[in-house]
Amino acid sequence: MLEACAITKCFGATRANDAVDLEISPGEILAIVGENGAGKSTLVKILCGLLKPDSGTLVVDGRPEAFHSVSQAVSVGIAAVHQHFALVPSLTGLENIWLAVGGNRRDLVQRAQKIINRLGLQVPLDQPIHQLPVPFQQQLEILRALVQNCKYLLLDEPTAALGSQDADAVRRLAGSLALSDHAVVLITHKLSDVLECAHRVVVMRQGRIVGNWPIHETNAAAISDAMIGEISIPSNHNCLPNCGRDVVLDVQNVSCSGSAGTAGLTDVSLQVHSGEILGVAGVSGNGQEPLAEVVTGLKSPESGKILFLDHDVTYHSPARRHRLGLAHVPADRRRYGAAGALPVYGNLCLRRYRESALSPKGWIRSRIWKQFATDLMKTVSADWPLDFQTRHLSGGNLQKLILARELDASPRLLVAVYPTRGLDVRAVSQTRRILLQSRRAGGSVLLISEDLRELLDLSDRIIAMSGGRIIGSVEPGQASAARLGQLLGGG
Amino acid sequence: MKHLVAAVFALLAALLLGFVVLWILHVPPLDACKGMLALCWARKMDTAAKALVLCLLGTGISVAFRAGFWNVGAEGQLCVGAIAAAGIGLYVAPASLWPAPWLWTALALVAGTLAGAFWCLGPALVRAKWQVSEVVTTLMLVYVAKRLLEYLYLGPWRDPQGYGFPGSAPLSASLHVSLVWIAILTGVGAIICALLVKKTVIGFEMSVLSESRDVARYGGIHVGRCLAIVGMISGGLAGLAGAVQVTGTAGRLISGISVGDGFTAIIIACLAGRHPLGVLIVAPFWAMLKVGAEDLEVSYQIPQAFSTALEGICLLCWLTSVWIGRRWFRRFRGNLT
């Protein structure tokens, strides 16, 4: 039995885990579910020795343990398979296992082969990892844990990157592991994983465990209720008078390929109306970022059409779209949003520097630039020194800088991707207020977020994405727990 | 300011290390210095010509580096510039130089500039389109250009009256351009580049691009156009340097055109903090070092490679001092906040 007693872990002011108690016994499949930031990953990292808890104890098979490393956790039989596999791409499967285990290779092959036969795995041991598809890599990670006699397997989002057939195979594998007296912990977003194969489900919210039921005593609605907590549909949901029906953005049957292991877009169509905030829900990596890139012009779609204010902008450059009134708060604000080495005022002028008001005949007038930047900073009530290097701004301040720049000249549409990710509470509320202000001024927002509460608080309408497709939508006022659970669970 | 401190420290450190090397070779360092300076003075025209060539090259490189376009192939652009200028002077211009010699000189300089610009445009476009590292492409093109230069002065363009010595026929003396004109050209070029970098929208785009291609694309900067402009300016100035050597100092196509100045200029651009006007200050020192090193060879039997070694030492010292400076600056700011 693996027991965690009163585990607490804080990052700064955030309590990622708050007095978490958990028991896992061999032969059981335990699903841990929760929204983003509920503390699931932190808990797994503590269990597998990657993080040390601030307080609380771990008891494995009756012996209290304090791990200083992952290998210590493995030595008592706990192993985790993370979303990003820890395999050397140029080595074969066997070599990767040997790296972790050592010893005689021939014995190792025999042991691995025995496990492969028992569980019916298909992974070849003699091929380099980079030639293997993702499901095989995952099997190899599990195999490596089993070769090291691990009894407790922690699988972090094992089905997130898989198609439905492969996901079924993983669930079956979990089942046969449980039959052979292993304990399997599934950390997952998908309610289908939970309902189909778990024996027990633990729901986490804001670092605490808020539900712990055997699977036959609960159902999807109860689980999503517990995940989200009480829903307060905010007053914002009454559409404002200027929320018209004219279409600002019309995406028609757009498809494009994704990058490195994430979904692209498959036949996505959506419309954003004037004065509305359209929320896009879903676990990240399901096509949200390609959607934002295609809409803002950083990426060209392979098929389909994008209309913005009745212009066909499918192949327009980002600059042309911006001139039409399209603004963009990028997901990776340090990579796309601002040049770190430039002074603050340079980044504030990034969208408008070409205009003759700022640079007559192509000559930079730094006094006008600085005045312009000062005025922009006032709109978000900030007063950074103008010559301050942008890279030294905190995440929240950087986001304010980007918002100030993007919302200047009241854009017709703002594409905001994970606008509050990684920000502290104050910055989050400021950012949300700015977004709502922009809508009040008549602009529309395409809000892409992982945070369901944020989407509920801000959006007039929510659509959900999974595997690069739009899988459903919720109209204002119809947000029921079951519907949201469906959105969260990905179908 | 930061750059200036780093450059001064680097030069001092390099000088000190150079003294150590001289001392190991049993050469009295101060005497050697005196000898070098005396030789520079005695051959002041050579020194000045060298300084101007290095200025042109360094200015072009500093513009490229400001945009994060690591053009390390100025040497090759110099070679094609020299070839184009010599081609105009030897084979295009009529023997009578009608209507006026200076027109043909100007044409030779323009041809050299364009040749260098287009030699560098290729790598810039390839970088813009497929993100092929320009460090590789510009450097490889150096060897293409050098072999082309050798082929021409050893083969088809070799001087029939040259007693078999490698080199093309000399250009007509009335095509020669005086150092004063070259100096004016260099100064104007550096000032234009400095204005471009610091005061124009293109300069701003360059600074964003050097920071991140992603931010540039996001901000609506036409990455391809920006890189093409930068590449052509950088290559053009290097090509002009080659043309200046043909029409100003060497007077013909010979092996002495390509002696690695294009690589030396990289260090000069770095020491000058990638500022075109800074190059005008740093390059003369370097010219003195290069010319003076010949005295070391004659008087003390120290191989010319010593000056190359000193270049390397200087670059390493500069990199170290920039790194130390950055850390020190960070700590200093840490105390402030």
Reported as a single tens digit per residue, the pLDDT across A451-481 is 777 888 888 888 888 778 888 887 766 666 5
Backbone angles phi, psi at B127, to 5 degrees: -65, -45
pLDDT value of position A163: 67
Q: What is the mean pLDDT of residues A282-301?
A: 84
The three-class DSSP label of residue B22 is helix
Does residue B258 carry a pLDDT above 80? yes
Judged against a pLDDT cut of 50, whether residue A194 lies above it is answered with yes
Residues 337-396 of A with CB under 8 A from B: 337-342, 346, 350-351, 353-354, 359, 362-364
Domains A2-228 and A235-325+409-489 equal at CATH topology level: yes
Residue A243 has pLDDT above 60, yes or no: no
Backbone angles phi, psi at A192, to 5 degrees: -65, -40
User: Considering CB atoms only, which of B200, B202, B208 is closest to A339?
Assistant: B208
Please give the tally of structural domains in chain B: 1
DSSP E strands in A70-182: the ranges are: 78-81, 152-156
For the stretch B153-161, contacts whose Cβ atoms lie closer than 8 Å and that sit 24 or more positions apart, written own/partner, are B153/B253, B153/B254, B153/B255, B157/B86, B157/B90, B157/B253, B159/B252
Q: How far apart are the C-alpha atoms of B275 and B279, rounded to whole Å? A: 7
- Ranked by mean pLDDT, which of A213-227, A444-458, B210-224 comes out on top? B210-224
Q: Do A341 and B219 touch (CB under 8 A)?
A: no
Residue A413 scores a pLDDT above 70 = yes
pLDDT of the residue at B230 = 95
Higher pLDDT, A481 or B24: B24
With a cut of 80, say whether residue B103 has pLDDT above it: yes
Coil vs helix vs strand at B160: coil
Hey, which residues 147-176 in chain A have their CB within 8 Å of chain B? none
Is position B74 within any domain? yes
pLDDT-above-70 percentage for chain A = 91
Distance, in Å, from the CA atom of B211 to the CA atom of A256, rounded to the nearest integer, reads 28
Q: Using CA coordinates, name the residue in chain B closest to A388.
A: B333
Owning domain of residue B107: 43-319
Residues A390, A340 contacting (CB under 8 angstroms): yes
Whether A322 has its CB under 8 Å from any CB of chain B: the answer is: yes
pLDDT greater than 70 at residue A277: yes
Taking CA–CA distances from B212, the nearest residue in chain A reads: A339
A25-54 residue pLDDT tens: 999 999 998 876 788 888 988 998 888 899
Hey, how many other C-beta atoms are within 10 angstroms of the C-beta on B160?
5
For A310, other C-beta atoms within 10 Å of its C-beta total 10
Candidates 3.90.226.10, 3.40.50.12780, 3.40.1280.10, 3.40.50.300; CATH matching A235-325+409-489:
3.40.50.300
- pLDDT of A484 reads 63
Give the integer Cα–Cα distance in Å for A129 and A148: 19
Q: Which residue of A has its CA nearest to B333?
A: A392
The Cα B84–Cα B88 span in angstroms is 6
pLDDT score of A202: 92
- Is the pLDDT assigned to residue B247 strictly greater than 70? yes
The C-alpha of B201 sits at a distance from chain A's nearest C-alpha, in angstroms, of 5
- Report chain A's C-alpha Rg in angstroms: 25
Q: Where are the domains of chain A?
A: 2-228, 235-325+409-489, 343-408
Q: Is the pLDDT of residue A394 over 80?
A: no
| Confidence (pLDDT) at A479 | 64
Which helix (H) or strand (E) element contains residue B30?
helix B29-42
| Alpha carbon separation from A68 to A23, A83, B323 (Å, rounded) | 21, 22, 34
3-state secondary structure A175-225: HHHHHCCCEEEEEECCHHHHHHHCCEEEEEECCEEEEEEEHHHCCHHHHHH
CB B225 within 8 A of CB A354: no
Q: Are A269 and A470 in contact (CB under 8 A)?
A: yes
Topology of A2-228 in CATH? Rossmann fold (3.40.50)
**Residue scoring higher pLDDT (B60 or A460):** B60
Q: What is the reported pLDDT for A224?
A: 77
Asked if A66 reaches chain B (Cβ–Cβ under 8 Å), the answer is no
For residues A183 and A174, what is the distance between their CA atoms, to the nearest angstrom? 9
CA B19 to mean position of chain CA atoms: 26
- Is residue B202 domain-resident? yes
Q: Which pair of tokens denotes residue A184? A: 């399997």
Average pLDDT over residues A424-452: 83
Q: Quote the minimal CA–CA distance from A343 to chain B in Å.
A: 11
Tell me what pLDDT residue B191 has.
95
Instruction: Please state, rounded to an integer, the average pLDDT across all residues of chain B.
Output: 87
| Nearest-by-Cβ selection for B200 from A328, A337, A362 | A362
One-character DSSP codes across B294-330 = HHHHHHH---THHHHHHHHHHHHHHHHHHHHHHHHHH
Residues of B in contact with A353 (CB under 8 A): 201, 204
- Our CA-based measurement puts residue B204 at a distance from the nearest CA of chain A, in whole angstroms, of 8
Comparing A165 with A55, which gets the higher pLDDT?
A: A55
CB contact under 8 A, B219 and A351: yes
Cβ <8 Å between B208 and A350: yes
Rounded to whole angstroms, the Cα distance separating A188 from A31 reads 7
Q: Is the pLDDT of residue A274 over 70?
A: yes
> Which of B204, B207, B215 minimises the CB distance to A336?
B215
ipTM higher than the 0.85 cut = no
Which residues make beta-bridge pairs with A473? A463
Query: Are A1 and A76 contacting, i.e. CB atoms less than 8 angstroms apart?
Result: no
* Average of per-residue pLDDT across B38-48: 89
pLDDT (0 to 100) of residue A482: 60
Q: Which of B199, B214, B221 sits opposite A364 (nearest CB)?
A: B199
Question: For A234-238, A437-441, A462-466, B88-92, which range has the lowest pLDDT when averaged over its residues?
Answer: A234-238
**The pLDDT value given to residue A170:** 87
Question: What number is the average pLDDT over the span A76-101?
Answer: 88
Query: pLDDT over 90 for what percent of chain A?
Result: 12
Query: What's residue A235's pLDDT?
Result: 46
Q: Which residue, among A322, A330, A388, A329, has the nearest Cα to A354 in the 3D structure? A: A322
Confidence of residue B231 (pLDDT cuts 50, 70, 90): very high
Cβ partners under 8 Å of residue A121, min gap 6: A115, A139, A142, A143, A173
* Interface residues on B facing A, Cβ-Cβ cutoff 8 A: 198-204, 207-208, 210-212, 214-215, 217-222
Q: Say which residue, A466 or B335, is predicted with more confidence.
A: A466
Nearest-CB residue to A336 (from B199, B214, B220):
B214
pLDDT above 90 for B327: no
Smallest Cβ distance to B215: which of A296, A339, A353?
A339
| pLDDT attached to residue A491 | 44
What's the pLDDT at B335?
Answer: 39
Q: Region B173-200: what's the mean pLDDT?
A: 91
Given this model, what pLDDT does residue A489 score? Answer: 60
